[in-house]
Structure 1
């Protein structure tokens, strides 16, 4: 079997570090924060992917994120290539279809994927979300108010505030 080889780049925008990876011009991975590279390395290992750095993707990443936050060009599912378990992909696609100006709880998302008792499984799927921001796990909140986010709670609040400023 031929190994998938991703192109990737790191860049900074609004004083936040990002890492983006593509396969055949589709976004496979987007993370932010101090642990983005380590998480990307784990993502590559879990999926048995190779990766080659390509700094020409820096401008692409900056433009996509700016467009997203400014609502000029929202991402479609056709722009993404998802790798995960069938349940994870179901959760990510369902979350992708939720209105961008609506917060919801893990339990509400579990109901949307027709697994009303799967709050924790939904949380685990979001923890493994490889495409932050565009698959908007930052819109999912806990009933208790505890802030969970793969890139860290401060970056979840940052992304939420960026979206709130644009609505």
Structure 2
């Protein structure tokens, strides 16, 4: 299946989006380590990518609190379960890794949940930035902890 990608500027830096015919495969900030080496064909006319850009721009402007995009991230069954649970964290709220493990009904899988969270390929839209340490501290974020803090601050403006 052909993959397509596009880049665009946001308030928090350049993002790369990738899709195929099924949906959005990834959304990465320029410094993220989870971006694949091969992105496919550059395409500014892909409807999935253009819709994702529109929704992300609305999010960054404060006029969107949730996303409605077809998602097609590739990962293990466990990762998929964690990523799906991430989409249920309400805008402006944070969960601990324990909360996330509890949400997938696997309370002892806190470390595995943390690893799956860190491999989330769809930044912002699948809100892994809303997961923080049990003690309330910001923990790692593939896009950088400073960017994570800015995303959480953006959501507090609501």
Q: TM (normalized to structure 1)?
A: 0.81
Secondary structure in 1 matching 2:3? strand
- 1:105-125 Cα offsets, whole Å, 9 max, x none, are 001110111110111101100
Structure 1 unaligned segments of length 5 or more: list them: 45-49
Structure 2 unaligned segments of length 5 or more: list them: none
**Which region of structure 1 is more displaced relative to structure 2, 116-125 or 67-76?**
67-76
Query: Could you say which structure has the higher helix fraction?
Result: 1
- Per-residue deviation at 1:127? 0.7
Q: TM (normalized to structure 2)?
A: 0.85
Q: What is the alpha-carbon distance in structure 2 between the residues aligned to residue 92 and residue 15 of structure 1? A: 22
Aligned 8 A contact 1:13 1:62 in 2: no
Number of residue pairs the alignment of both structures matches: 154
**Pair 24,123 (structure 1): closer, same or farther in 2 beyond 3 Å:** same
The corresponding residue for 2:116 is 125
- Per-residue deviation at 1:146? 4.4
- 1:76-125 Cα offsets, whole Å, 9 max, x none, are 3x521131111111111111022122211001110111110111101100
2:103 to 112, 116, 121: 112
Is 1:21 equivalent to 2:18 in the alignment? Answer: yes
The corresponding residue for 1:84 is 75
The corresponding residue for 1:47 is none
RMSD: 2.2
